[in-house]
Structure 1
Amino acid sequence: MGKRYKKNEKKPINKKKRVLIVATVVIIIIGLVVGVPYYMLNSQLSKIHKTKLPTNIGIDNNSYLEKNKELQDNYINILLIGVDARDPDVSSRSDSMMIATIDKKHDKIKLSSLMRDMIVDTTGHGPMEGLNQDRLNHTYAYGGAALTLKTINENFKMNIKDYVEVDFFGLEKIIDQVGGVEINVTSEEVPYLNGYISEVAKIEKVTPTLVKKPGLQLLNGKQAVGYARIRYVGRSDFQRTERQRTVLTKVFEKISNMNLLQLNNAIGEMMPNVTTSMDRSEIISLSKDVLLKKINKVDQLRIPIDGHNSTIYVRDTYFLGWDKKENLEALHKFIYEEDYNEDSIK
C-alpha cells in the first residue's frame, strides 16, 4: 500500500504512477461504431482476459424487477476501471473509474467519471481501520474489481453488473498506433509532463523522449499518457480529468479516420491488456446494438459535480467530500434523462 499523507504534508511529485481514464475501452466502443466487422471483432475478443464476479455485487434487489425491464434494456451500465500495473514494486489501485452507459434510447454513449479520492462507505483500512469509510480508489487494492464494483453500486445507487479493466500498455500502444495526438502543452505543464515520461522510461528501461517546449505539438503515446497524468498544475485532480478528456477527444478524431485494417490492428494491440467479467457473446450483442443504431455521440460527466464537493480530513487523512443527494441526482439524471426516478436515489 502507498503512504497516506497528513494534512500539512506535501506529496512528492513522482511518488507513484497515476492512472489515466480507461480510454482504451472507450476506443473499443468507438471502433465498433465506425464499423469493425463481426468476424474481426470475434477474433480479437479471444485475446481478452475473462474473470467471474461473486454473487453479491451490491445491486439493489429492486433494480431488475419486471417493471424496470424496459429501463434496464435501454440503459446498459458498465464499470470501466483503469489500473497501473507496470511497476511490480507498487500496489495497483483503481485510480480511474468511470461508468460507461450505452444509451440505446437516445443513441448515446455516456461516460461518468468518479474521482478517485472520494470518501465512500466501505470497510476502512490503514488509518481508517475500524471505520466504515475509506477512499474510493483504495477498494481495488483491498478487494480487486469486485469490491470496487460493489462499493460503487452501493454508494451511487447503481445497477452495474459487469466491468472492464485496462492498464497503461493499451493506451500508449493505441496512441502510437494512430500516429500520436496533437496537444497544446503549457509552460507550467512541461516539467511535470517530463517527470512522468522519465519515471515510466526508467521502469521500462528505455531512453525517454522529453517534451522540449510548450505549445501545440504532436505527442507520442508515452508523452500523451504523461500529459493526462498531470495533477499539480491548475485545479489538481479536477483539471487532470479535463486533460484526460482532451486526450480522448484527439484519439477519437484519429480513430474515426482509420480504415478497417488499421482499426482492427489497433484493437488487436489493445485486447491483451483488457480484463472483463463480460462474456464474448455479451460484448458482441452489445456491439451489434451500437452498430445498428449508429451510436456515435459521447456525453461526459464528472462526479462530484462543481459546487457540491469539499476537502475533508478524517484522522488527519485527506478525502474528497461530496454532497450525496445532489451528486446522486446529477448522476442519475445524466444517465436516465427523462426516465430518471427520484425514488431510485433514496
Structure 2
Amino acid sequence: MEKKKVKKSKKFKIIAIVFIVLAVIIAVPYFYFNYQVGKVKTVSIPTSSKDLGINENIFKPKANTDDYVNILLFGVDTRDVQNKKGSADSIMILTVDKFNKKMKLTSIMRDSIVDMQGRGEMQGFNQDRINYSFDYGGAPLTIKTINENYQMNIKDYVKVDFVAMAKLIDAVGGVPVNITAEEIPVANSYIKEISKIEKTTPNYIKTPGLQTLNGVQAVGYCRIRYVGNMDFERTQRQRTVLTELFKKLSKTSLLDMPKLADTILPNVETSLDKSDILSLASYILMNKISNIEQLRLPIEGSYRTIYVNNVYFLGWDKDTNIKKLHEFVFEGQNIDK
C-alpha cells in the first residue's frame, strides 16, 4: 500500500510540475507583452458621437454593428521634421469582424474630395482633400471627417511612420511581394531616400518576380505612385504589404511575441488603451485570423476627376460608395438609413 501511495505521489508531482512549466511558458510572454504595451504612445481623443462625427440615427447604442470594430490606420510621411503631424500618405479602415471572425481592410484614396472646412488654396470652401484633414487637425479631424462623409462609426486610430513600418516588417522576417520590372527603379529611388535618412547602406531590389522584401524595400514598394494606374495601384500595393504582414503576425508563436512587441509597440501611436490592444491582439491570435478581405474607395465606375477653385480632386459618388462600404464592413447587419 505504501509503495502505491509513493507512486501516486510521484505521479501527481510530475503532473503538477508539467502544469507549472506550461503556466510559466504561457504567462511569461503574456505579462512581458502586457508590460511592452505600456510603451505605446497613447493619445486621448474625443469620445462623444458628436465630436467623432458618428450619426446616432444610423449607429444606435447596442446596435448589431457592435461586433464590427473599425479602426483608422495612418501611414505617415514624417520626412519633413518641421511638420510634427506629417502627411497622411496612407489612410485605411481596419475592420475586426467578430461576427464572421475575419478582418477587412478598406483604402480611401488620399485625393478624394470630402466635405470639411477648406484651408490654403481651398480657404473659404467647405470642401478639401481627405488626406489634408490630418495636416489640419490630426487623427481626430480625419476620424470625424470620414465618419461624416462615409457614414461610419470609427472611434480609434493607429499611426505609424515609414521608418516604424520598415522595422515592423523586418521583425517578422520580411513580406513576400511580386514586383514588376517597371516598379523596381521607382522602388529603389525610395529605398535610397529612406536609407539616407536612416544612415544605412541601401539594399536595392535587383530582379522582378515574387520575392521576400525587407522592411525598407517593402516601404519603398508601397510608396510607388507613378507606375501603372497612379494612386489606385499604390493603395493596392499598400494593402498587399499589410495583408502579408498580418499573415506573418497571426502565425507568430506565443514565445516570439515579447521580442516582436518590443520592436513594434514603441513605434506606434494610438488612441486605443492598453486593455483594448490586449483584447484585440488576443482575439486575432486566438481565432487564428490571417486572411484579410480588401476594398478600395472610391470603387470602379464611381469616380471622376474634378476641379474646385482650379485645384485637382478625385470626385466620387457618395450614395454608391457608402452603400458598398457598409455592405463590405457590416455585411447586411441592421444599419438604419
* Category of TM-score, reference length = shorter chain: 0.7 to 0.9
SS in 2 for 1:77: strand
The aligned residue for residue 281 of structure 1 is 275
Instruction: Supply the RMSD in Å over aligned alpha carbons.
Output: 2.3
Contact 2:29/2:255, CA 8 A, preserved across alignment? no
The aligned residue for residue 74 of structure 2 is 81
- Render the CA deviation track for 1:279-329: whole Å, top value 9, x for unaligned: 212223344444555544421111111111111111221111110000000
| CA–CA distance in structure 2, aligned partners of residues 265 and 227 of structure 1 | 26
| CA–CA distance in structure 1, aligned partners of residues 67 and 319 of structure 2 | 24
Answering whether residue 159 of structure 2 is matched by residue 159 of structure 1, we say no
- Of 225, 234, 242 in structure 2, the residue corresponding to residue 240 of structure 1 is 234
The aligned residue for residue 298 of structure 1 is 292
Instruction: Say if 1:172 and 1:316 are closer, same or farther in 2 by CA, change over 3 A.
Output: same
SS in 2 for 1:102: strand
Answering whether residue 34 of structure 2 is matched by residue 58 of structure 1, we say no
SS in 1 for 2:300: coil
Post-superposition shift, 1:76? Answer: 1.6
The aligned residue for residue 183 of structure 1 is 177
The AA in structure 2 aligned to 1:43 is Y
The alignment's TM-score, normalised by the length of structure 1, stands at: 0.81
- Render the CA deviation track for 1:219-248: whole Å, top value 9, x for unaligned: 221111101111111011111122223323
| CA–CA distance in structure 1, aligned partners of residues 58 and 278 of structure 2 | 24
The AA in structure 1 aligned to 2:139 is A
| CA–CA distance in structure 1, aligned partners of residues 176 and 280 of structure 2 | 31
| CA–CA distance in structure 1, aligned partners of residues 106 and 38 of structure 2 | 28
Contact 1:107/1:296, CA 8 A, preserved across alignment? no
The aligned residue for residue 41 of structure 2 is 49
Find runs of 4+ consecutive structure 1 residues off by over 6 angstroms.
Answer: none
SS in 2 for 1:41: helix
* Number of residue pairs the alignment of both structures matches: 307
Contact 1:99/1:111, CA 8 A, preserved across alignment? yes
- Of 119, 127, 131 in structure 2, the residue corresponding to residue 125 of structure 1 is 119
| CA–CA distance in structure 1, aligned partners of residues 28 and 146 of structure 2 | 32
Between 312-321 and 137-146, report the one with greater CA deviation: 312-321
The aligned residue for residue 319 of structure 2 is 325
The AA in structure 1 aligned to 2:55 is D
- Of 129, 138, 146 in structure 2, the residue corresponding to residue 144 of structure 1 is 138
Contact 1:83/1:168, CA 8 A, preserved across alignment? yes
Between 38-47 and 302-311, report the one with greater CA deviation: 38-47
The aligned residue for residue 22 of structure 1 is none
- Render the CA deviation track for 1:134-173: whole Å, top value 9, x for unaligned: 0000011111111111101110111111112121222211
Between 51-60 and 203-212, report the one with greater CA deviation: 203-212
The alignment's TM-score, normalised by the length of structure 2, stands at: 0.84
| CA–CA distance in structure 2, aligned partners of residues 247 and 289 of structure 1 | 22
| CA–CA distance in structure 1, aligned partners of residues 252 and 270 of structure 2 | 26
- Of 259, 263, 266 in structure 2, the residue corresponding to residue 265 of structure 1 is 259
Contact 1:184/1:214, CA 8 A, preserved across alignment? yes
| CA–CA distance in structure 2, aligned partners of residues 219 and 282 of structure 1 | 31
| Unaligned segments of structure 2, at least 5 residues | 1-26
| CA–CA distance in structure 1, aligned partners of residues 234 and 147 of structure 2 | 25
Contact 1:197/1:208, CA 8 A, preserved across alignment? yes
The AA in structure 2 aligned to 1:167 is D
The aligned residue for residue 8 of structure 1 is none
Instruction: Say if 1:294 and 1:254 are closer, same or farther in 2 by CA, change over 3 A.
Output: closer
- Render the CA deviation track for 1:65-115: whole Å, top value 9, x for unaligned: 34xx14132112221122122441556111211112221111111211111
Q: Which has the larger radius of gyration?
A: 2
Between 75-84 and 248-257, report the one with greater CA deviation: 248-257
The aligned residue for residue 335 of structure 1 is 329
Q: Percent identity over the alignment?
A: 53
Contact 2:184/2:205, CA 8 A, preserved across alignment? yes
- Of 31, 42, 57 in structure 2, the residue corresponding to residue 39 of structure 1 is 31
The aligned residue for residue 65 of structure 2 is 72
Post-superposition shift, 1:183? Answer: 2.6
The AA in structure 2 aligned to 1:313 is Y
| CA–CA distance in structure 2, aligned partners of residues 150 and 70 of structure 1 | 20
